[in-house]
Amino acid sequence: MKLFLKVWKQDGPENEGRFESHVLDGVSEDSSFLEMLDQLNEQLLNEGKEPIAFDHDCREGICGTCSLNINGFAHGPENSTTTCQLHMRKFEDGDTITIEPFRAKAFPVVKDLVVNRSAFDKIIQAGGFITVRTGSAPDGNALPVPKKDADLAMDAAQCIGCGACVASCKNASAMLFTSAKAGHLNMLPQGQAEKDSRVLNMVAAMDEAGFGNCRNYGECSAACPKDISLDYIAKLNRDYAKAKVKKVFS
Amino acid sequence: MGWSLALSHLVDLLALRTFKSIHLMNLDSKIPEGPLPDKWENHRFSSKLVNPANKRKFNIIVVGSGLAGGSAAATLGELGYNVDCFCYQDTPRRAHSIAAQGGINGAKNYQNDGDSVHRLFYDTIKGGDFRSREANVHRLAQNSVNIIDQCVAQGVPFAREYGGLLANRSFGGAQVSRTFYARGQTGQQLLLGAYSALSRQIASGQVKMHVRQEMLDLIVIDGHAKGIITRNLATGELKVWTADAVLLCTGGYGNVYYLSTNAIGCNVTATFRAYRRGAGFANPCFTQIHPTCIPVSGDHQSKLTLMSESLRNDGRVWVPKNAEDCGKAPSEIPEDARDYYLERKYPSFGNLAPRDISSRSAKEACDEGRGVGPGGRGVYLDFGDSINRLGENTIRERYGNLFEMYERITGENAYQRPMRIYPAIHYTMGGLWVDYNLMSSIPGCFVLGEANFSDHGANRLGASALMQGLSDGYFVIPYTIGNYLTTISPGGIDPEGEAARETLESVKQRVSQMVSAKGKRSSRSYHKELGQIMWEYAGMARNEPGLKKAIGQIQDLRDDFNKNLLVTGHGEELNMELERSGRVRDFLDFGELLCRDALDRNESCGGHFREEFQTEDGEATRNDDDFAHAAVWEFKGDGETPARHEEDLKFEEVKLAVRSYK
């Protein structure tokens, strides 16, 4: 395949960015999108030019490191797929492809296509855990968890923390991420003791990190490579309201 | 007369001291006394405790934030130590433990099918082909029970039965069902559990997290590990960090083969740099090849993707009986023209034969010209029977995400036609030598998880890596680190002292050499070439002439790398070419060490298969008389041959037996 690539170049967080155009020939349909970028970088290197920086690691769709807005879509046009799992057979020979970093105020660009998503860590640190010291756990079967609840918790827990939800939202809201993380723990019996403080603290951390508000557009869930459902946002809103009310009356 | 005797004694003593410091590595395993089941209990009791008020005086560096590093950093933080945790990723939640799919073993015997701590211990020792320490493995099996409890309490959403209790599945190398799982994403869920515990400690200030920081060297002062040098990957800044102990939890070295199931960033630099500073490297030739990976599709390939071994519970492995059928669509090959070779050769374990055996059988079938798919390097993993028996929905529920992943990568629907799989490098059992306390031969430098050598011998059983990482981090190091810390006084390390300065200087030099070489070849091209050499001569089957050839070729490649490497940009910025170059540079040295170890181990065991040592029907032949030991390599200087030491393995509980899965 021969491709025409428009790629975002930005030297550092404080620099202004620009698009650069490249032509890349001889791309295999079986290669992944990131392998196509590897090929471009080898070409640039051989021409004595600086390669394009992009984040990636496991390349099997689970670590959540890869990102990229591809032709305007977070992780590209294929549903339920991370960029590393997107394969070039989904494109046509001669296509022009525009590649940008995830764009959000809370995700500043580090360089080129690399962004800083540490705001997500702040949200988890605020309450995305169950307080349990190592060694203090009861037997694993002491607390039965109905299969349905365990499955719903797992649906939420599948979130890979990539940030596609934020990058796809007009408001750059992190509600889908936060609701998946809080929802996973709030649905399990183990998570009940800290349920209220968890939602209050995580939402506060989310707001503080500079993410926008949720207006229920639903782009987040459509872009999510793990298909996290909007239901979790509804659950977060419900849990948040309850926790707020309880706080007022306590 | 008296004087001269005393003098000659003194001379002897001095000579011996010098001899010792140069030639003898301290390989005292410190295995506790007592009967095997009591060793860990006894050791915990006799281990030194650090007074709670004193814990906060100790600074501990944890390198890596996977299951081992994340759980260790969180737990040491909970105990009150000051912890600095480092990872090269942009957040600790992305370490490659996250990619483990199938599950984690725990000797809970919830299935009432005859499991016990002793059985898990025995399966692991046997699975490792009798090349691991009994005491370590037994401790691992004991801790496995606590790990499940801990993870459940953290909210890890393990699979459940309808009654709400924990579900189990079977895994290779075991005849009981003891594997706990969270769909096909068990590693992810366990890592997120450890990450949540770590996040709680970060929020409390007890752990300071340093992301996008890569360890490039170990600082050793008066023979003790006292810190590390890191490069900030976002800015290029090189920095000295000092501490009272350093924990390396930096994973395995599978990427020395270029193509592996490891994440692209996985590397050997941290452990290899510790080796260069005096830590023994044990059994580097013990590498594991995973039987169920998606086959290579072309030259563009940057990594191989694993399909969980749990698939072998319901999938049947076969190739055509006749090589002429290989080009046909699988549906056109009738039942009696298929060779279900694992079921045929290993009737009692069948498709669940251990990884090394399954991998080698796949290679044999392909070597005979009966492989399928591009290049004839693939075998079928067929779910047809299971779908007929259980229905497509059940299979979808069990493995849905794996089938989707397979379709994304290959463009094929595995509900309708069998998957094509082939073995790939997956895990490395070798690693830095550690004693029972997980301390390397450098006092104060501890090694946890895949980075150490201790528990899996020559072959790791499925669902045991997660178990080991978490056992080391949650339940071993918190007890054993006290044995070291109580022998030193905390703090007082000068980050600008001589040793720290020299180490920093050597790192600076190394970085600037790579940037200034300004040659013609990219680090990736060297890495690819190294990988080809390794896979060809030190892959699934090895032999003496091949390994010798590989060592020569690697040396030549390294010389070329030093002269002809091309890195653009400079060191004081985010520079991914430079990052990769540093990793490849260490892989070039390390690959040679791996081949050397494989060459000197004149036997076949587990993942190490030497063609010279096999039975008539192609089974591995161990040599217990000469090789029932861990080979521990000591660095002797650049261009020097490293020294090979041995730690004899003593088997008091199990009888060394031919590992049979027939």
Task: Report the 3 state secondary structure along B287-325.
Answer: EEEEEEECCCCCCCCCCCCECCHHHHHCCEEEEECCHHH
Is A8 in the same domain as A76? yes
Residue B555 resides in a domain? yes
Q: Which CB contacts under 8 angstroms, 24+ apart, belong to B33-37? A: B36/B134, B36/B135, B36/B138, B36/B652, B36/B653, B37/B117, B37/B118, B37/B138, B37/B142
Kindly tell me if the per-residue pLDDT of A138 is higher than 90. Answer: yes
Instruction: Taking residues B567-579, report their average pLDDT.
Output: 96
Kindly tell me if the per-residue pLDDT of B1 is higher than 80. Answer: no
Which of A32, A42, A140 faces B148 most closely, judged by CB atoms? Answer: A140
The ipTM value here is 0.98
The whole-number pLDDT of residue B20 equals 37
Strand partners, A21: A6
The whole-number pLDDT of residue B660 equals 77
Residue B488 resides in a domain? no
Is B416 in the same domain as B507? no
End residue of a domain, out of A54, A77, A111: A111
Inter-chain CB proximity A130 and B153 less than 8 Å: yes
Give the separation between CA B521 and CA B526, rounded to whole angstroms: 7
Question: What is the rounded end-to-end Cα distance, in angstroms, of chain B?
Answer: 71
Residue B310 resides in a domain? yes
Q: pLDDT (tens digit, 9 = 90+) per residue, B500-512?
A: 999 999 999 999 9
- The CATH number of residue B587's host domain is 1.20.58.100
Give the separation between CA B357 and CA B366, rounded to whole angstroms: 14
Provide the shortest C-alpha distance from residue A127 to chain B (in Å).
Answer: 8
Inter-chain CB proximity B182 and A80 less than 8 Å: no
Is A185 in the same domain as A106? no
8 A C-beta contact, residue B609 and residue B622:
no
Helix (H, G, I), strand (E, B) or coil at B405: helix
CA A159 to chain centre: 8
The whole-number pLDDT of residue B662 equals 78
Provide the shortest C-alpha distance from residue A143 to chain B (in Å).
Answer: 8
List of chain B residues whose C-beta atoms are within 8 Å of the C-beta of residue A64: 93-94
Which of B67, B75, B108, B156 is most worth mutating to test chain A (most A CB atoms within 10 A of its CB)? B156
Quick one: CA dihedral B27, B30, B35, B41, positive or negative?
Answer: negative
Left (φ > 0), alpha (ψ -120 to 50) or beta: where does B238 sit? beta
Q: pLDDT (tens digit, 9 = 90+) per residue, B513-553?
A: 999 999 999 999 999 999 999 999 999 999 999 999 999 99
B282 sits in which H/E element: strand B281-282
Tokens matching residue B100:
């483990």
Give the separation between CA B481 and CA B436, rounded to whole angstroms: 11
Instruction: Taking residues B583-598, report their average pLDDT.
Output: 98
Kindly tell me if the per-residue pLDDT of B636 is higher than 70. Answer: yes
End residue of a domain, out of B383, B406, B425: B425
DSSP letter for B99, please. Answer: G
Is B504 in the same domain as B611? yes
Residue in chain A lying closest to B66 (CA): A63
Please choose, from the candidates A176, A85, A247, A185, the residue with its C-alpha nearest in 3D space to the C-alpha of residue B154: A185
Is A76 in the same domain as A121? no
Kindly tell me if the per-residue pLDDT of B596 is higher than 50. Answer: yes
Kindly tell me if the per-residue pLDDT of B22 is higher than 50. Answer: no
Is A76 in the same domain as A189? no
- Number of Cβ within a 10 Å radius of residue B637: 8
Q: Would you state the torsion angle of the CA atoms of residues B251, B256, B259, B261, taken in this order, to the nearest 10 degrees? A: -10
> What percent of chain B has a predicted confidence (pLDDT) above 70?
96
Residue B379: what are its φ and ψ, rounded to 5°? -130, 160
Provide the shortest C-alpha distance from residue A129 to chain B (in Å).
Answer: 5
Residue in chain A lying closest to B267 (CA): A57
- The CATH number of residue A208's host domain is 1.10.1060.10
Which of B108, B149, B178, B180 is most worth mutating to test chain A (most A CB atoms within 10 A of its CB)? B149
Give the separation between CA B561 and CA B519, rounded to whole angstroms: 9
Is B629 in the same domain as B505? yes
B408 vs B9, higher pLDDT: B408
Cβ of residue B142 closer than 8 Å to a chain A Cβ: no
Give the separation between CA B613 and CA B658, rounded to whole angstroms: 14
Is B421 in the same domain as B511? no
Instruction: Taking residues B356-373, report their average pLDDT.
Output: 92
Please choose, from the candidates B132, B454, B449, B125, the residue with its C-alpha nearest in 3D space to the C-alpha of residue B280: B454
Residues 556-585 of B with CB under 8 A from A: 566, 568-569, 573-574, 576-577
The whole-number pLDDT of residue B381 equals 97
Confidence of residue B51 (pLDDT cuts 50, 70, 90): very high
Inter-chain CB proximity A39 and B211 less than 8 Å: no
Is A121 in the same domain as A245? yes
Is B557 in the same domain as B639? yes
Residue B610: what are its φ and ψ, rounded to 5°? -100, 125
B15 vs B146, higher pLDDT: B146
Instruction: Taking residues B260-289, report their average pLDDT.
Output: 98
Kindly tell me if the per-residue pLDDT of B74 is higher than 60. Answer: yes
Instruction: Taking residues B381-410, report their average pLDDT.
Output: 92
Which of B78, B298, B411 faces A133 most closely, judged by CB atoms? Answer: B78
Q: How many domains does chain A have?
A: 2
Kindly tell me if the per-residue pLDDT of A121 is higher than 50. Answer: yes
Give the separation between CA B248 and CA B453, rounded to whole angstroms: 12
Q: How many domains does chain B have?
A: 2
Measured CA angle at B639 (ends B634, B640), to 5 deg: 40
8 A C-beta contact, residue A7 and residue A52:
yes
Confidence of residue B9 (pLDDT cuts 50, 70, 90): low
Please choose, from the candidates B116, B112, B106, B115, the residue with its C-alpha nearest in 3D space to the C-alpha of residue B152: B106
Inter-chain CB proximity B94 and A65 less than 8 Å: yes
8 A C-beta contact, residue B145 and residue B110:
no
Helix (H, G, I), strand (E, B) or coil at B565: strand
Cβ of residue B75 closer than 8 Å to a chain A Cβ: yes
End residue of a domain, out of A57, A85, A111: A111
8 A C-beta contact, residue A169 and residue A219:
yes
The whole-number pLDDT of residue B250 equals 98
Inter-chain CB proximity B199 and A160 less than 8 Å: no
DSSP letter for B473, please. Answer: I
Kindly tell me if the per-residue pLDDT of B119 is higher than 80. Answer: yes
Residue B531 resides in a domain? yes
Is B308 in the same domain as B412? yes
Which of B78, B143, B160, B178 is most worth mutating to test chain A (most A CB atoms within 10 A of its CB)? B160
Tokens matching residue B574:
């985010």
Provide the shortest C-alpha distance from residue A250 to chain B (in Å).
Answer: 26
Residue in chain A lying closest to B296 (CA): A30
Which of A12, A133, A191 faces B155 most closely, judged by CB atoms? Answer: A191
Measured CA angle at A135 (ends A202, B62), to 5 deg: 70
Q: Which positions ≥6 away from B492 have C-beta within 8 Å?
A: none
Which of A63, A102, A149 is most worth mutating to test chain B (most B CB atoms within 10 A of its CB)? A63
DSSP letter for B215, please. Answer: E
Residues 209-238 of B with CB under 8 A from A: 209, 211, 234
Quick one: CA dihedral B210, B211, B212, B213, positive or negative?
Answer: positive
List of chain A residues whose C-beta atoms are within 8 Å of the C-beta of residue B306: 60
Instruction: Taking residues B363-375, report their average pLDDT.
Output: 92
Helix (H, G, I), strand (E, B) or coil at B86: strand
Give the separation between CA B565 and CA B520, rounded to whole angstroms: 6
Is B509 in the same domain as B418? no
Q: pLDDT (tens digit, 9 = 90+) per residue, B328-364?
A: 999 999 999 999 999 999 998 899 888 888 999 999 9
Give the separation between CA B341 and CA B357, rounded to whole angstroms: 11
The whole-number pLDDT of residue B3 equals 55
Give the separation between CA B293 and CA B280, rounded to whole angstroms: 32
Is A85 in the same domain as A140? no
Is B419 in the same domain as B533? no
Inter-chain CB proximity A188 and B155 less than 8 Å: yes
Is B518 in the same domain as B639? yes
Q: What is the mean pLDDT of chain B?
A: 94
The whole-number pLDDT of residue B175 equals 87
Inter-chain CB proximity A147 and B164 less than 8 Å: yes
Provide the shortest C-alpha distance from residue A170 to chain B (in Å).
Answer: 24
Please choose, from the candidates B138, B146, B104, the residue with its C-alpha nearest in 3D space to the C-alpha of residue B119: B138
Provide the shortest C-alpha distance from residue A199 to chain B (in Å).
Answer: 15
- The CATH number of residue A106's host domain is 3.10.20.30
Extract the runs of DSSP E, i.e. beta strands, from B309-391.
Answer: 316-320, 338-339, 379-382
- Number of Cβ within a 10 Å radius of residue B199: 27
Inter-chain CB proximity B300 and A64 less than 8 Å: no
Is A131 in the same domain as A243? yes
Instruction: Taking residues B293-316, report their average pLDDT.
Output: 91
Give the separation between CA B95 and CA B98, rounded to whole angstroms: 6
The whole-number pLDDT of residue B618 equals 79
Residue B487 resides in a domain? no
Range(s) of the domain holding residue A150: 117-249
Is A102 in the same domain as A131? no
Residue B254 resides in a domain? no
Inter-chain CB proximity A141 and B568 less than 8 Å: no
The whole-number pLDDT of residue B308 equals 82
Is A225 in the same domain as A156? yes
Is A147 in the same domain as A103? no
Measured CA to CA in angstroms, residue B111 lies from B153, B168, B578 at distances of 20, 8, 51
End residue of a domain, out of B368, B399, B425: B425
Kindly tell me if the per-residue pLDDT of B15 is higher than 60. Answer: no
Which of B93, B146, B265 faces A161 most closely, judged by CB atoms? Answer: B93
Which of B201, B264, B294 is most worth mutating to test chain A (most A CB atoms within 10 A of its CB)? B264
8 A C-beta contact, residue A159 and residue A180:
yes
Inter-chain CB proximity A140 and B265 less than 8 Å: no
Give the separation between CA B352 and CA B311, rounded to whole angstroms: 10
Measured CA to CA in angstroms, residue B206 lies from B56, B74, B83 at distances of 9, 9, 6
Which of A46, A144, A184 faces B164 most closely, judged by CB atoms? Answer: A144
CA A152 to chain centre: 19
Helix (H, G, I), strand (E, B) or coil at B581: helix
Which of A14, A50, A52, A129 is most worth mutating to test chain B (most B CB atoms within 10 A of its CB)? A129
Give the separation between CA B234 and CA A27, rounded to whole angstroms: 30
Is B504 in the same domain as B642? yes
Is A174 in the same domain as A221? yes
- Number of Cβ within a 10 Å radius of residue B616: 5
Is B378 in the same domain as B508? no
Residue in chain B lying closest to A130 (CA): B154
Tokens matching residue A158:
């599948």
Q: Would you state the torsion angle of the CA atoms of residues B475, B478, B483, B488, taken in this order, to the nearest 10 degrees? A: 160
Residue B418 resides in a domain? yes
In this structure, of A74-78, B245-249, B319-323, B654-658, the range with the lowest mean pLDDT score is: B654-658
Burial class (CB in 10 A: 0-12, 13-18, 19+), B612: exposed
- The CATH number of residue B319's host domain is 3.90.700.10
Range(s) of the domain holding residue B620: 498-648
Inter-chain CB proximity A50 and B569 less than 8 Å: yes
Is A35 in the same domain as A133? no
Instruction: Taking residues A133-137, report their average pLDDT.
Output: 96
Kindly tell me if the per-residue pLDDT of B10 is higher than 90. Answer: no
Residue B626 resides in a domain? yes
End residue of a domain, out of B425, B453, B472: B425
Confidence of residue B616 (pLDDT cuts 50, 70, 90): confident
Which of A64, A134, A140 faces B108 most closely, judged by CB atoms? Answer: A140
Instruction: Taking residues B122-144, report their average pLDDT.
Output: 97
Kindly tell me if the per-residue pLDDT of A163 is higher than 70. Answer: yes
Give the separation between CA B149 and CA B487, rounded to whole angstroms: 33
Single-letter residue type at B601: R
In this structure, of A183-192, B272-281, B349-358, the range with the lowest mean pLDDT score is: B349-358
Instruction: Taking residues B241-251, report their average pLDDT.
Output: 98
Question: What is the rounded end-to-end Cα distance, in angstroms, of chain A?
Answer: 65
Which of B146, B148, B157 faces A153 most closely, judged by CB atoms? Answer: B157
Kindly tell me if the per-residue pLDDT of B661 is higher than 90. Answer: no
